[in-house]
Amino acid sequence: MSDGKVTLAAGGRRAGIRGKMPIFATAGPVSFWMMIFVLLPLIYVFVISFMTRTQYGGIEYSLTLDNYKEMFDPLYLKVIWKSLKLAFFTTVICLVVGYPLAYWIASKPSKLAAKLLMLVMIPYWTSSLVRLFSINLLVMPNGLLNAFLMKLHIISEPLDILYSDGVVMLGLLVAMLPFSVLPLYSSIEKMDKSLIEASKDLGANSVTTFRKVTIPQTMPGIVGCTLLVFIPSLGMYYVPEMLGGGKVMLVGTLIKNQFLVTKNWPFGASLAILLILITLAMMWLYTRIGKLDDLEVC
Amino acid sequence: MAEKKQLSKRLRRKRLGRRLSNVYAILVYAFIYIPIAIMILFSFNSQKHNYYFEHFTTEWYVKLFTQSDLWGYLVNSLIVAIVATAISIVIGVLGAMGLKRFEFKLKQVINNSLYIPIVIPEVVLGISLLMLFEIAHFPLGLGAMILAHATFCIPFVVIIMRGRMAGMDMSIEEASQDLGANRITTFFRITLPLLVPGIMSSAFMSFTLSIDDVIISNFVSGPYSTTLPIKILSMVKVGLKPDVNAMTTVMVAVLVLGLLLNSVVQALWKKRASTNIKTYF
């Protein structure tokens, strides 16, 4: 009797481990990876953001809120404000430029549409740095753009637009545009086209139909696009560095400098936490409108 | 008659609208391609500092293939991209299966954490990985870059694969097991072959993300081993020499040729397949 029980128990336990084997083998590695390389480091960033920097760039483990207070220095507030402003305008322009293009692509037969989307993506397989440098060459005082405009007698002397906010935004736009077209395309393509016809049959004109039917129907794409453009724009440090010279400082560069130049980890970490909070706020907004799985990132 | 006139007016307006939208699309494409055009143009520039276009030359292409240190950096980039892609595919495909099929305690946490590398600004992921490697005393360099790149590629693989699996008929897996195959045989003989298209597109995605990464690599590359984008980043401050443009042009050309070849092969394959079907009738 007792023997039977023991074997049964042992068998039960073995079945338990064997039953869990497939879970360990499949979900195990990814869980491990995410915990070690994503969650743990982010928790560490959070902890460090409350620590004190020592004189020589080390970290002293004593709690402080100074790093967050430092953000309210007018100098840094200006940087944060400018980053938010540039990211906002980049996002708006990406939406305004990308939406009609996505709509146009979605109106084509699916095979052609796939090719047209490919055509949007091809430039992004070249180094983004080389492309940005091309923009740099284009807008330089003796660059192609100025030569062209002067030949047409639109301007009489070269525009000095290199190293301005406008050019940084142009760079962000070039870097971000395809990522706005993709989510917009997929939501426009999924939209039920008969709704537009129904709206027109019911007497609405094109503008009303667009405002009342098309936009609400493609909202997930619009918010997805906002998410995929606004957040990366905040952290893109090489765009302002290349096109803004030393003149345009954005929060991405500020964070990078805390780690690679001035060695002030705690302050850099607190800025990173600020970016994470902005991201979370936008994600929250997104989940109110669409599902995370719908986020067409690919 | 009046009705007909109105109809043709509407038609004309529709046609005009279509034409305008075509023009608009061409303009946007032009905007996207202008930097590429300039890049290619300046790869033929005889002026060494590449600040203005002097006159046409192909010397940079000759130099690129005879004496250039850029290839070493490209090899580093390729090593990082290939290894990171391989790691991401293995972990991502298994993970997508596990997260889709099984219930376990931390599932929700892992599911949500997958979106973190996709949505947070890259600079945040970069500094957090730099901190991790520093406290773990893990040497910065190619190894650290591979781990970092796999970290931002895995989520994309999991999400792409999960999407593909959602549309898959899982009953044939059950059929395989009913017919006596064990889980491992079923995985290699049934599941994996079905997943090949998804694996291809997620591998393509990971490779693309990895090969052009600047922001994260810049934090974990360390002083000695550098990938091509990081090398370019360090050169950009003093201006890019035309050989970098030449190299990038060659890379784009190879890629576009590859895409064309791919579509030609597919078209031929389809043609053959369709003729095969025809011979049956």
Domains of chain A plus CATH, in order, are 2-48 (no CATH), 66-294 (1.10.3720.10)
Higher pLDDT, A173 or B64: A173
Dist CA B186 CA A259 (whole Å): 49
Which residues numbered 177-236 in A keep a CB inside 8 Å of some CB on B? 177-178, 227, 231-232, 234-236
A91-95, A139-143, B136-140, B155-159: least confidently modelled range: A139-143
β-partners of residue B45 are B56
Give pLDDT, residue B147: 93
Out of A34, A41, A140, closest to residue B131 by CB: A41
Q: Which residues of chain B have pLDDT under 50?
A: 275-281
A52: three-class secondary structure by DSSP: strand
Please indicate whether residue A218 or residue A274 has the higher confidence score (pLDDT). Answer: A274
What does the buried/exposed string (b/e) look like for B125-142 if buried means 16 or more CB atoms within 10 Å of the residue's CB?
bbbbbbbbbeeeeeebbb
Sign of the CA dihedral running A181, A185, A186, A187: positive
Interface touch B131/A283, C-beta < 8 Å: no
- Whole-number Å distance between alpha carbons of B189 and B200: 17
CA dihedral B78, B80, B82, B87 (to 10 degrees): 180
**In the prediction, which pLDDT does A11 show?**
41
**Does B273 contact chain A (CB < 8 Å)?**
no
Distance CA B20, CA A227 (A): 29
Structure confidence at residue B151 (pLDDT): 92
The predicted pLDDT at position A3 comes to 41
Restricting to A residues 253-292, those with a Cβ less than 8 Å away from any Cβ of B are 255-256, 259-260, 265, 268-269, 272, 275-276, 279, 282-283, 292
Q: What is the mean pLDDT of residues A148-165?
A: 75
Mean pLDDT of A208-236: 80
